[in-house]
Structure formats: structure tokens, C-alpha cells
Amino acid sequence: MLKGLTFKKSSCRNCYKCISHCPVKAIRISGNQAHIIDDECILCGRCFVICPQNAKRVEDGTEKARVLLAEGGPVIVSLAPSFIANFEGVGIESMRAALKKLGFADVEETAIGATIVKREYERILREDGKDVVITSCCQSINLLIQKYFPSLIEYLADVKSPMQAHCVDIKRRIPGAKTVFIGPCIAKKDEAAYYEGMVDAVLTFDELQKWLDSAGITLEKGVKEEPNSRARFFPTTGGILKTMEPNINGYTYMATDGVNDCMIALKDIERGNIHKCFIEMSACEGSCIGGPVMANRSPISGYIAVDKFAGEKDFEVEQPDSLSLRKHFIMMEREAKMPTEMEIMAAMRQMGKFKASDELDCGFCGYDTCREKAIAICQGKADSSMCLPFLKDKAESFSDTIVKNTPSGFIVLNEDLEVQRVNGRARKIMNIRSESDVLGEPVVRILDPTVFMTVKNTGRSVHDKKVYLAEYNKSVEQTVVYDRDSHLLIGIMRDITEEEAEREKKESISRQTVEVADKVVEKQMRIVQEIASLLGETAAETKIALSKLKESIGDE
């Protein structure tokens, strides 16, 4: 299990920035959450530095250091030489005084171990006859070679790091001592845990500062000169080379920093392009003074601070024998295997990449190319939903399907009343041959802009307003909405030309029917009047006849 760095799940916001900045893509996305892949991570700390949500958590070694102090034996601090760049204006004497207040027995500079290591490097160049020698001070570079360039392990200088060499030296000189390394590096936590028995605990400068703050201890300003301290240059780019004897056996000395540049150099070595070379490699840009937990990560001001603090001679040390400084490196296999071409193509299709023109290589997902992303999908590190163009195309395709198949015409304008979009139904209403004929043009070319101007100025939408488009001989129900968030005006037109024609036809028939009915009624009324007149005369005669009959019957 890799030591040093974890993710805080509640803070991750699925931004993929950590993937983008991780030089070895050792991050897996699952459930919209980032996870570090232990067997691929080199603990360079880039994800920790760039995370906008502070979702990365460095494993705190403070409690372990407190336990060591509570056990009662002497606990000695090995203080990384980059401290002078982190704690501005604070020298080793001030650091020693403050740390003793926390309970540490003493504080020494890791630069003492650096002196031991650089002397062993010089011996290797003089005696071992290696073609290429790569420094092994940086644990992240060691992990990079062990995991990603195993064929180059033979070129790694098989020497303990300055931290290890110093802590072993402390324990040799002070029986029963425990050691705590304090520095700017996350990877040192893993190195201490992997190589047991040398370093008992590791703190970052940030953890130390918090501990001092909680104890109410203030670091006093003041730096004392020390001529025997050239190894203090170790945390700067080229600093190791600066401390070494020049031109040993014709070796070319080189320094490179930053994981990406180091990987370029390693690939050059793999191809056989580099020979008779001693190469100082640092994962952090600017070397250790650019470490992920440095309070001040400026390589310029950091170098100036180190340069003023460093002396011109070596520390006086008792050089151990080479065997005791030996460090064994092994290949570290990664679980993720390269997928087949067929699997990669299947993953590409999941992302909507069917031809070369679909591969935008935009980098939004964190991977440099769509192919790299497809490989990550096959390896279970990513999913197709991380592709912004794919999601955008999918969403647009869905909305396009709706817009294209709706029976209404759609026209979208920007705030300058220029046409941004017009669907097929709207083009049919306005006799527009192609959308490209009007895109970007003022709407006045095709429609009366008055209603759009009114809606924009008042902010009040218009709904289902009947409008006759004389130039197109079309009648529509027009709705216009202003979306302030997107700064767009959306016009919806429902063609009611046939409905209007049918309505007018019915109205015409109704008018004709009414006219005919009026004539019929008028004629019928005349007939009724004539009939009534005739009926009136007949009824009178009948009434007279019946009266006479009644009278005659009554008489009888």
C-alpha cells in the first residue's frame, strides 16, 4: 500500500484537473470520484498542488512523531536543507531551538547525509564503470523508473538517499536514537515506510508549522554562516552536481527536473541515445525547493535563499563503506495491462469516435488524446461520460431531434437580433432554402423585428399571437421568449395558414347560409301571413255556422 497521499471523497468535484496534471495518469474515476491507483502513482504530489477543491490529503505523521517522543528515548530530527527556502530568514540554530521546545533531543541537517551520498556517487564514477548513472535521491524518480522504465533500473545509482544515509548515521553515532525526517516531500513518507529501520517518522514542513503553531512556538529569525555546508545545494536543480568533483573519468554531468522532462530523458536512455553520463533527476520543477508542500514554491527565491545559506566546503563526515550505503531497487509491476486494438476501438465508439475527425484531443477529460482516454476506459480508470465533446454532441443530438421533429418553427436570435439558428419547419414557413443562408444575418431580412425588440426591451414574453406574414402569405401563431441567462431570443411559429383558410371558408359558408336562411324565412313569413289571412276568413265563417247550428239545436 502506497504511503503519503489520499483523496477526500467529499471534496472531489469531478473536474479531472488531477488527471490532466498527473504525469503518469495514476488516477481512476469511479462514481464521479477520483481515486489514486497505488501501483501506478509515483507520489510526485502534482495532484495535491493543483487540486482546486483541496481534495487531496497528505497522511499526517505528527501523531507518530509524538508517540516517539513519548517513549522517552532520544529522538533526533533530520532537517531537509530546503527548510531555508520554506522558513524565510530562519537558520538551523533557530530551527533547533524551536524543535527542542517540542521535545526533540537534537536537530541535524540532512545535508550531512547528502555529503555522504555525493561522495559515494563520486566513487561509483571512478570505480564502477557504468555507462549511465542516474541519481537516486528523489523517491518519485526512483518509483517512476521502477514502475515505468524497469529496463533502466540498472542505471539507478544503488545508493541510499540523503535522508536514509543521514538517519542511519545518526543511529550509528547515538545508540537507541529514533529519527524523524522533516522536509518538503510527500514521497519520503513512502520511502521511509518501504525501507524499514532507517527513518522512524516523516513530517512535512506544513505539518511541522501546524505543530509549532498549536504549541505557541515562534521561529526566531537569524541565519549563522557555516563554511562546511556545500551539500545544502542538494535541494536545487543542479545542486548535486555543484557539490561533486568535476570531470570524473570523462563523464558528462547533466541535471533535469520535472517528471515530464525526466521521462523524455529516460526515453532517450532507453533508445540508446545517451552514454557516459551522470544525470541528476528531480521530480519537482526546481528540485526539492519546488516540493509539493513548500510554503514558498518559487524556484528563484528558493535558490537565492539556499545559495546564501550554503557554504563552499563539505561537511566533515565519517564516510561509511559502500556496502552499507547500498540500496536495492526492484521492478514494480502495474496491474493495468495494455488492451487490444479491438478493445481500444470499442472504447472509442463508446465515446462517439467513429472516424479520425471525431478525435478532437481536447484534453478536457485529463488525457492528452482520445486514444489515451480509450485505453484508460479499457483499464477501468475512466468512463465515456468524461468526454465533454461526446456529452455535448449527445445533448445537442437529443435537442436537435426534438427541434427538427417538432411541428413548430424555431428561430433563435442573439441580443443583436442576428439569426443563430433556424429549424427546418421555420425555413419552410419563410421559404428559406438553407440555414446557412441566414445564419449570422439580421432578422429584419426575413421577419419583422418589432416583436423581438419589444420582448427584449420589456422582458415580457409574447404567447400565441396571431400574425399574418404577408411576404410569405402565411399565418402563424407567434411566441417570443427572452432568455437572459443565455442572452438569446427564441421565436416559435406555428403555421396556422390552413386553419385560417378553413376558418375563413367556414365563415363564408356561414354567411351564405345565413343569407339564404334570411331569404327563406322572409318568403316563409309572407306565405304564413297569406295562409293566416285565409285561415282567418275560414275560421270566422265556421264560427258563424257553428253558432247557428248551436242555436238551432238549442231551440229544438
Q: Count other Cβ atoms within 10 Å, centred on residue 490.
A: 19
Fold of the CATH domain 406-495: Beta-Lactamase (3.30.450)
pTM of the model: 0.71
User: What pLDDT score was predicted for residue 508?
Assistant: 85
Compute the distance between CA of residue 405 and CA of residue 398 in angstroms, rounded to an integer: 11
Bridge partners of residue 156, in order along the sequence = 134
Report the pLDDT value the prediction gives residue 462, as an integer from 0 to 100: 93
Q: State whether the Cα torsion 77-81-87-90 is positive or negative.
A: positive
Determine the pLDDT at residue 35.
Answer: 86
Spatial distance between the Cα atoms of 346 and 377, rounded to a whole number of angstroms: 10
Joined together, the cell numbers standing for residue 75 give 529522538
CB 136 within 8 A of CB 143: no
Please give the pLDDT value at position 548: 58
Question: Residue 384: CB partners within 8 Å, gap ≥ 6?
Answer: 347, 350, 351, 352, 377, 390
- CA gap 109, 315 in Å, rounded: 10
- Collect the ranges in the chain with pLDDT lower than 50: none
Distances in whole angstroms, Cα of residue 247 to Cα of each of 125, 253, 254, 276, 547:
10, 8, 12, 11, 160
Residue 483: CB atoms within 10 Å: 10
What are the residues whose beta carbons fall under 8 Å from the beta carbon of 40, sequence distance 6 or more?
A: 24, 25, 26, 147, 334, 336
pLDDT score at 391 = 61
User: Helices 187-194 & 162-173, crossing angle to 10 degrees?
Assistant: 50
Amino acid sitting at position 168: V
Of 417, 329, 339, 323, nearest to 376 (Cα)?
339
Among residues 302, 56, 67, 348, the alpha carbon closest in space to that of 186 is found at: 56
For the chain, give every domain's residue range: 60-325, 336-389, 406-495
Cell of 155: 542505471
| CA distances to 34, 36, 207, 249, 281 from 47, in Å | 11, 10, 18, 40, 20
Identify the residue whose cell numbers are 295562409.
Answer: 531
CA distance 6 to 26: 12
Task: Provide the b/e sequence for 241-252 (b: ≥16 CB within 10 Å).
Answer: bbbbeeebeebe
